Chains A and B, each alone.
Chain A
Amino acid sequence: MTIDKTPPNPSEPTEPAEPAEPSGQVPETNETAKATTAKPTAPSASSLAWARRRGSVSRFWRQYRTHRAGLIGLAGLAVIALIALTSPLFIGGDVQSVTDAPGTALESPSGEFPLGTDQFGRSLLGLLIWGARISLVVGLLAAALSVAIGTLVGIIAGHYGGWFATVVMRITDWFLVMPALVLAIVLATVMSRSIWTVILAIGVTAWPTTARLVRAQTIAVESRPYIERAQALGGGHGHIMTRHVLPNVMPLVLAQTTLGISTAILTEATLAFLGLGDPSVVSWGGMLQDAREAGAVSSGHWWYLAPPGIAIALVALAFTLCGRAIEAVLNPKLGVSR
């Protein structure tokens, strides 16, 4: 037992991401390697690979189902996504209009406005539903961006190794010690106010974690014999990275993305609250900022302040639950949900 045995240690090469079947993977990827490097005569081999992947997905789902918290999170996400996606059908963009606002300023909850109105007389329920779209989009895109950067850096650093990897990881480490929120605030201040700025600010500050994890995973995958075989068969760097490493780190990336979304949504709210969001777009963080600017806190209009915060917390919680369940399935050693 080495002292590195502390479970959540990414730099220690751990088991491959689909631990349930190391044996099943070797032939699979091997087949794929043959199929792509040798001759294009093997559509059957590639379809076999796809079948195997489908199989591992359903295996994944079977294990995921055993995590009740993960299921609750998933159900919550489904409901929220459904509401956000169908909202244009029943509320429409004119909830945002200030000149056609139906109510008067800061009405308390009533039959007509179940959550009351904001300082412009707009329905808060409508805004809350409408704002879900922006908050979710920002969360998803920012997490996707940061995970994309992290995966790219991680795979390249893990694959090439040597001084190049040392330098890249040095930079990653250095980003890791940067206070991320401070950096995001500064970036958001520098650029113009738009949701893209927020996405970018979150994306470029949140990637180092993923990069480290992916790199460790890449090293673990590449230490396996079939990679050597693929190389012997003439597989280039690009081939190995995209055909062998990437599919193996994908599950990890998925878990990272899911967890990253909740952080991204919280950061979006934080930036909006600090006045760094796009004021012409309705988001949950922006609603909190509006509530604060209207003086809702001290004038006792709690129904203005409470719902957006609860919505943020619920979505962040749902993504976290899902992410932890995915992690637990992929790496049962963590025992997160047991």
Chain B
Amino acid sequence: MVTRIPPRTTRQPTRQRIRFRLFLASGAAATAIAAGSVIPLSPLLPAAPQAQAAPNTLNAPKALKAPMAPAAADGKKVLTVAVDQSVDSLSPFLAQTLLATSVHRLSYEYLTNYDAKDASTIPGFATKWASSPDKLTWTFTIRDDSKWSDGKQATAEDAAWTFNKMMTDPNAATANGSFTSNFKKVTAPDPTQLVIELKKPQATMTSLDVPIVPKHIWENVDDFSKFNNDKKFPIVGNGPYVIEDFKVDQYIRLKPNKDFWRGAPKFDELVFRYYKDKDAAVAALQKGEVSFVSGLTPAQAAALGNAENIKVNDAPGRRFFALATNPGAKAKDGEKFGNGHKALLDPDVRKALFHAVDRKTIVDKVFQGHAVEGQGYIPPRFDSYFWQPSDTQKIDYDPAKAADLLDKAGYEKNGSGKRVGDDGKPLNFRILCHATDPNDKAVGKYLQEWWGDLGIGLEVECLDNVSDPWLAGNYDLAFDGWSVNPDPDFVLSIHTCGALPATAKDTGATDNFICDKQYDDLYAKQAVEYDVAKRTDLVKQIQSRLYDTGYMNVMVYPNAVEAYRTDQIKSITTMPEAAGNIWGQDGYWSWWSAVPADGTGEASSDSGSSTGTVIGIGAAVVVVAALGLFFMMRRRSTAEDRE
């Protein structure tokens, strides 16, 4: 083997030099960071004595702001909202995600709106509405003080065109087609009159959540399945904000509509900025880079609750979080499919399972108080529809009773403490959980232990996409949850027999294959009931029936936990106005009503960008210096070569 030892003579001097360089180099990464930290000083730093004391321009944030950041120079009030969902499309005919539909709420008018106080229907694009005695013809009076942002008057003609497009072009019905599938004819006899004729009565006529688009812009669109409405800015609309700019998964920028009939919003700009990571979003809020963050975890809420200038809003949510059992999946034609556990067809077994769920612990431990114990199907936030089981109906936490029910149902414990059925097989269930939902996983852990104590095994199957086994009926239990709209029609419709798939191969709108005659009768009655009080009563009866079937059990109603910076937002309307939420409202109230804080609450991007400028320079200098150093050393080496 060839020796690798270099001649001794040259060793000493080189070694020293090289070792010096080596140490220098080893610390290069650290140096880069350190260099970055020396140069800039965040103006948002709460306690930085130098900032006040030193006349040094580098350390004085105010001196920096004006010249370095052009966007900041005019002192715009920017409201920045952190979002983690993608905008699937800016076309109201295609958009499905909550973020996209929220943006549409801000940029287009709907016929009606929901009152911020109690979510009751109030005028939107329409000022008045009336139905004919046979309940089949609806006449909407369209307001005459709404203008498109390009200056044209918005009229009933635009609304009629929007609905007709959705009725005639299936591609335009992608997002909201369910509202118009029952429409027979839509006309606009004059600019302030919209007449809709129905095939059969429809209870959702005063809650048609369909953005009305300007006909003169949209009639030029060829293919509604491909047109995303994101090429030409600003996007013509008539809502409180106008979409100015959009980059997929980066930001959506909106400007206030100065001519908005209800009054212009107070902020100069509204930006939805995309943060894939919730922690990154919360960090941005702590630093003032964003004004608002939603969907906080209990730990984040607690940490932000102690922070200065940040208000945590813990509001009753509009979701329910339930356990659903597979009632034996079947299609409309009667064909059964899936591999749901037979034992769950026994109402007593299901009841026993629900009896062994300690909802209070789930509220206290998993949600750490940021949730309300589950009762009926519709969350208490919608107090007119909220229903509670009577004492005789109620399935409360009672493990002893659960054990009793199981014993009676024929599943007694064997020697090793497992419940065994008549077939001699131990009782083991699977539960479908959404891999992306931490609450599913957490509750799954508790269920495993509670039901384990009962002698029932539970396998928590977490998947990114649960819909495949779900639709195929290949599950025993599942975590289920829906956001409830002010009008409960949809969430009620998904438990009717009509929602079952037509055949085993089809997909239906059904939530978990519940099909109950009594339930269906009640549902059909409420769907055509125009009298609010009577319909409310029917909705409560429906919930009572659903509870009694025992196919699903609502565990909790999770709160909406969100936080905003009080030094940027002075006031903001929640919905419901008393103790309500801000993100995902049914109207545009929050962002329309937000009032900027004065003085110090200068918008985030200003301060961010000036620090950014400084740090950017710092980073660039470090990179250039590192490269320069490298090449210098190379040059020097070459020079040495030539000696």
Contact = CB atoms under 8 A, between A and B. Distances in A.
Contacts of A298: 278-283, 286, 300, 303
Contacts of A332: 1
A279 B435 contact: yes
Interface in A265-302: 275-276, 278-280, 290, 292-301
Contacts of A99: 361, 446, 449-450
Interface stretch (B99-107, B318-326, B458-466): B458-466
Contacts of B445: 98, 120, 280
B48 interface: no
Given A99-B449, A292-B279, A338-B4, A279 B299 contact: no
Contact of B462 (A120, A279, A292, A294): A279
Given A98-B445, A120-B365, A279-B460, A300 B298 contact: no
Interface string A167-210: 00000000000000000000001001100000000000000000
Interface in A121-180: 121
Contact of B449 (A97, A105, A119): A97
Q: Which of A106, A279, A292, A301 counts the most B-chain CB atoms under 10 A from its CB?
A: A279
B315 interface: no
Given A298-B278, A298-B279, A335 B461 contact: no
A293 B283 contact: no
Contacts of A338: 4
Given A98-B365, A295-B279, A119 B446 contact: no
A119 B299 contact: yes
A298 B307 CA distance: 12
Interface stretch (B176-184, B436-444, B623-631): B436-444
B98 interface: no
Contact of B446 (A98, A192, A275, A296): A98
Given A105-B298, A275-B464, A193 B435 contact: yes
Contacts of A189: 464
Interface in B425-453: 433, 435-436, 438, 441-442, 444-446, 448-450
Given A299-B300, A332-B1, A293 B449 contact: no
A81 to B, nearest CB: 28
Interface in B272-287: 277-283, 286
Given A275-B435, A292-B279, A192 B461 contact: yes
B302 interface: yes
Interface residues on A, range: 20 to 34
A296 B277 CA distance: 12
A189 B435 CA distance: 10
A301 B299 contact: yes
A290 B282 CA distance: 17
A280 B460 contact: yes
In this complex, which of B365, B368, B449, B460 has the most chain A Cβ atoms within 10 angstroms of its Cβ? B365
B303 A300 contact: yes
Contacts of B460: 279-280
A99 B444 CA distance: 12
B329 interface: no
A193 B612 CA distance: 42
Nearest to B283: A298
A280 B440 CA distance: 11
A193 B461 contact: yes
B296 interface: yes
B388 interface: no
Nearest to B278: A295
B367 to A, nearest CB: 11
Contacts of A119: 298-299, 368, 442
Contacts of B450: 99
A335 B1 CA distance: 12
B344 to A, nearest CB: 20
A52 to B, nearest CB: 23
Nearest to B443: A98
Nearest to B282: A298
B485 interface: no
Contacts of B277: 292
Which of A99, A296, A300, A332 has most chain B Cβ within 10 Å? A99
Nearest to B440: A279
Contacts of B1: 332
B229 interface: no
B613 interface: no
A299 B299 contact: yes
Contact of A98 (B4, B298, B449): B449
A192 B286 CA distance: 38
Interface of B: 1, 4, 277-283, 286, 296-300, 302-304, 361, 365, 368, 433, 435-436, 438, 441-442, 444-446, 448-450, 460-464
20 contacts: A97-B449, A105-B298, A105-B365, A120-B442, A120-B445, A193-B435, A276-B435, A278-B462, A279-B435, A280-B460, A290-B438, A292-B279, A294-B438, A295-B282, A295-B299, A297-B283, A298-B283, A299-B299, A299-B303, A332-B1
- 6 A-B pairs closest in CB distance: A299-B303, A298-B282, A295-B297, A297-B279, A295-B300, A293-B438
